[in-house]
Chain A
Amino acid sequence: DIQMTQSPSSVSASVGDSITITCRASQTISRYLNWYQQKPGKAPKLLIYTSSSLQSGAPSRFSGSGSGTDFTLTISSLQPEDSASYYCQQSYNTPFTFGPGTKVNI
């Protein structure tokens, strides 16, 4: 299985700040990397797919980059509603695997 790691595990920031979350795969996954946002008691919501494509309906302050084994999710101009956990997920092969998550506190 491809193991996914994320850093940091949690981050605190203020409204208007920019933050970057890193995701690393245990082997190369090309650009097959997705990002999800999950708020407490809710299902995950797709934000970014294939490393850098913005999912329809996701705010443009979310952006992704990377290829191979190293990827980043950047949230620019943080808003109060961005307080959530963020998960990366590889779709390079099965079993699909997720990172452990990064909790963002605003």
Chain B
Amino acid sequence: QVQLQESGPGLVKPSETLSLTCTVTGGSISSQYWNWIRQAPAKGLEWIGYISESGSTNYNPSLKSRVTMSVDTSKNQFSLKLTSVTAADTAVYYCARRVTPDRFDIWGQGTMVSVSS
């Protein structure tokens, strides 16, 4: 059974770069689309973007200038980098698998990232 687990620092300083990794276990990272979604405290869900196993990406235009995603198929991991963070980037960050027909069927447990000096 495929499981996802996010990892990375829980605290990032303003103007620095947020870096998170999602490890896929119980299955291969191949042939699917791997997504990042975030949820600010007491707020709704915001899709950040996805990356495929081949490295093709699609980012939310609202974050596109600051987002980079990468994939490491040898480690069954994919990653998120968000630059120039502000307090508005404080959120729980989820990684999720997208399958066809398009839906997010498996989610990680989420990791809280706070932006503060």
Show the binding face of A for B, using Cβ within 8 Å. Answer: 1, 32, 34, 36, 42-46, 49-50, 55, 87, 89, 91, 94-101
Contacts and interface: CB of A to CB of B under 8 A. Distances in A.
Contacts of B30: none
Contact of A45 (B45, B47, B58, B107): B107
A15 B45 CA distance: 28
Contacts of B74: none
A49 B101 contact: yes
B103 A87 contact: no
Contacts of B103: 34, 46, 49-50, 55, 89, 91
A105 to B, nearest CB: 16
Interface of B: 44-47, 58, 60-62, 94, 96, 101-105, 107-110
- A interface secondary structure, majority: loop
Contacts of A94: 47, 58, 60
Given A32-B102, A34-B104, A55-B105, A43 B44 contact: no
